[in-house]
Structure 1
C-alpha cells in the first residue's frame, strides 16, 4: 500500500522516515549531502523563504534550516553508511535499479524516467527563481532612476548587486493599500515606467544578454516591452476574479471601457484578461513555472537581432524550456505535465500576436498624441532619440 504521509520539509509525499522524520527522497538526499559535505549556504533575502514542493530548490539556506527545524538529526548520519561518493559497486547497482524501474516491456526507458533521472533542472530553476524574486523586490521599491535606454542597458546590473539591493529594495510606502481604486492614465504611466525599468535590470541579469551588442540588447528589450510587464502585472496580481488585474498600490483595471484611452489599448486590456490572466489562474502556475516561462518569453529569437545573437538566445531558451518541462514532469506526472506544459508554451504564440497589435496601438496613439509618452518610452518603442 502506498505511503501517503507527507514530507515535513516540503510537503511532497514521504518515502519513509529519514534521519528521524518523514521526508521525501529529494529532501533526504539534500540533507545528507549538505551535512556530509559541510556545505554553507547563504540566503539572498531575509532567511524566511517559502519551502514547499513547488519551490523547495529556490533557497538552499532556508531549505536546510527547515530540515533542522522539523527535526532532521545530523547525528543520524554515519560516514560509513551515508557516503557522498560512489563506488563502482554502488554505481552498477543503481544503474541496474534504474533500468528495472524505468523500462517498459520492450526494455526501453520511458521518457518520464529519462527526465526525472536528470536533476540538473533544479539548479537552473533555482537561479531563475532567485532572479525573479529580486526583480519583484525592485518593482515594489521606490527606486526609479531617470536615464536613457542606452544608460539603462549599459550600466551595471542592479539585481546582482547585493549592496544596492539591501539599500534600495525596500517596499515603497506607496505600494501598500487598504482599498482598491480604478486605474487612471497617470497610474498606467507610473506602472509602465516601473515595469520597463525592472525589465532592463532583469535583462542584464542573463549572461547571454551581456555578450550581445548594444543594438541586439536594445532590440531584445524592445521586443519584450509589452509582454514582460504584462506577465509581471498578471502573476503578481491578488486574486480579485478572472476579470481584474490589481497593482501593488491598489489600482486596478477590469473590463470597464475607458473612453479616454485609444481603442487599441482598450483591446489590449481585454486580451490580457482573456489570454494571460485566465489561463494562469486555471493552470495554477507556481513561482518556479512562472520564473521559467517569463525567461522563455523574454529570450525570444524572433526579435530583430543579428543571426549570431539569435543562435545564442535560442540556445539559452531551449535549455530553460527543457528544464521547465522536466520540472513539470517530476511535479505533475506525464499526462498532466504534457497538458500544462503544452498549454503554457502555446501561450507564447498568442502573447506575441497581442504584443504586435499593442505596439501598433502605441504607434497610433503617439501619432495622434493621445498619450504623453516619456522620452524613455519613446526610445523603447521608436528607437534612440
Structure 2
C-alpha cells in the first residue's frame, strides 16, 4: 500500500506533496501561490489565534502564517513559473549556460575552503582521472558495452537498449528470486556482502586524496550521470578522519554536497534494476531519492564510527555547539543531527544493525519512492523492492539461525521501518536545499541543484 502524507498546514491528504519547500496539499499550494503572486496582505481578527476546524482554516492570515511555518518559501514562486522553460533543452537565464566556456576538465564553481582536509594514507593511490571503482568489482554488469571513459551509470547511456523481458515474468518477485538464488549456488549472505562491498567501493577510503580536487555544480543531472567527473573529483569520503566543525557549515556545504552527490551516483550505478526503466522514470527516481539516500549514508557512518553529531563527506564532523547556533543554517544542521541521533542511530544501536543489513535497508528505501512513475516503471520498482525485502529476510535467517520465524520477521520489519524516519529527514533536507537554491545560499543556485531538487521530469 502506498504511503499517505498529510498537509502540514491543514492535515489534508489530497494531492499532498512538496510544493515551494513545504509538504502541503494541492489546495494550500494554490492558496500560497495566489497570495504571493497577487501580493495579498491579510489581517487576523483574532490576533493569530484562529483554530483549524474539520481540516479547514477560515482565516486567510492564519493559513498563510501556517504555510510559512511549514517551510514554504515565497521566493520559490518566481522560480516555479519558469519550470516550463526548464523542461526544454535550454535552461532559463537564471542558470547561466557555461558549456561554451567549459574545458574537458571540471572546474570549481565555488570556493574550496583553504583547510579542505587531505586524508593521508600509506597505501598507493588506485584512483586515476577515469577511475571507476565499480567496473573492476561488478563485471557481471557488462560495463564493457558502455563508455569506458567516465560513464559510472552505464544504463543511462544513449546507445543502451532496454531489456523488457523481466517486465512480463515473475523473476524479481519474492520467493521465486530466493529459489533462483539457491539454484545458482549463491547465498543471501554472499549477495548481501557484495552490496556491502559496494559501499566501500564508493567510499574510496583506501585511496590517496588528490592535491587539487575540483568541484562543479554547473552541470545538468543528465551530464553528471553520464560523465560523473564533470561534477567533482573522486576523493576519499573520510568517514574515519572527521575534522570537527561546530559552526560555519555554510562555508563548506557546497564541497560536502557535491562529493556526497557523486557518492550517490556511484552507488546508483550498481542497481541494475534501473536498466528496465525508461529515461523519464530513471531521472525522476534518481533525483527524488538523493536526499534520503545521502542522509542514510551519513547517518550510518556516524553510527559505525561511534560519533556524536553527524559525519559529512570529505572528512567533516559536525558536533553540536555548546551555545546557540551561529546562524540559521547551523541551526538546521543541528536539528538534522539531533533527529538522526534520537530517531535513527538509536534504532541502529538497539538492533546492532550490521553492514549487510544496512546495505539492504538502503536499497529497499531507494525502491520505495514517493515520486509518481509510469505504470511500467512502478511495476519494476515494486518488484525490485520485493526482491530486496526477501533477500533481507533470507539474510536474517542465515545470520541468526537461533531466532524463530516470528523474531526474524520482526527484526526485518524494524530494519525496514527505519526508512520512514530517513524519508522524513529527506523531506526536511530537500525543502531546505530548495530554499538555499532560491536564495542562492552557499552559491547553490546551479543547474545540478535545480535538476535534483526542483525540476519535474
How high is the TM-score relative to the length of structure 1? Answer: 0.58
Equivalence for 1:338:
409
Deviates more, 1:253-262 or 1:348-357: 253-262
Change beyond 3 A, Cα 1:273–1:254: farther
Aligned counterpart in structure 2 of residue 213 of structure 1, from 278, 282, 304: 278
2: distance between equivalents of 1:176 and 1:197? Answer: 19
Deviations 1:185-244 (A, max 9, x none): 233322221111111221122112133233222211222111111111122236676742
Residue equivalent to 1:6: none
CA deviation digits over 1:51-89, x for unaligned, max 9?
xxxxxxxx9xxxxxxxxxxxxxxxxxxxxxxxxxxxxxx
Give the structure 1 partner of residue 158 of structure 2. none
Find the aligned partners of 2:198 and 2:453 in 1 and give their Cα distance: 25
Native 8 Å contact 2:284 2:373 kept in 1: yes
- Aligned-partner Cα distance in 1 for 2:319–2:387: 36
In structure 1, the residue corresponding to 2:318 is in which secondary structure? strand
Aligned-pair CA distance for 1:129:
2.2
Comparing 271-280 with 309-318, greater Cα deviation is found at 271-280
Which residue of structure 2 lines up, in the alignment, with residue 254 of structure 1? 320
Q: How does 1:1-385 map to 2 (within 5 A)?
A: 120-137=187-204, 142=210, 146=216, 147-155=219-227, 171=236, 177=241, 180-182=244-246, 184-237=249-302, 243-247=308-312, 249-254=315-320, 257-262=324-329, 266-332=334-400, 333-334=403-404, 336-375=407-446, 376-383=448-455
CA pair 367-180 structure 1, distance change in 2 beyond 3 A: closer
Measured in 1, the distance between the counterparts of 2:282 and 2:206 equals 21
Task: Report how many residues are paired.
Answer: 264
- Could you tell me whether the CA contact under 8 Å between 1:204 and 1:210 is conserved in 2? no
What's the CA shift string for 1:334-357, capped at 9, x where partnerless? 354333322111112222233223
Deviates most, 233-242 or 320-329: 233-242
Q: TM-score, normalization: structure 2?
A: 0.49
Q: Deviations over 1:226-267 (max 9, x none)?
A: 111111112223667674223462532337653423465543
Name which of structure 1's ranges 316-325 and 352-361 shifts more when overlaid on structure 2. Answer: 352-361
1:34-60 deviation digits (Å, cap 9, x = unpaired): xxxxxxxxxxx99xxxxxxxxxxxx9x
Deviation at 1:135, TM superposition (A): 1.6
**Any unmatched runs of 5+ in structure 2?**
1-122, 125-136, 138-178
Q: Which is richer in helix?
A: 1
In structure 1, the gaps of 5 or more residues are 1-44, 47-58, 60-113, 158-167
* Structure with larger RCO (C-alpha < 8 A, sep 6+): 2
Q: 1:169 to 1:382 in 2, by over 3 A?
A: closer
Measure, in 1, the Cα distance between the counterparts of 2:234 and 2:374.
Answer: 35
Q: RMSD over aligned Cα, in angstroms?
A: 3.8
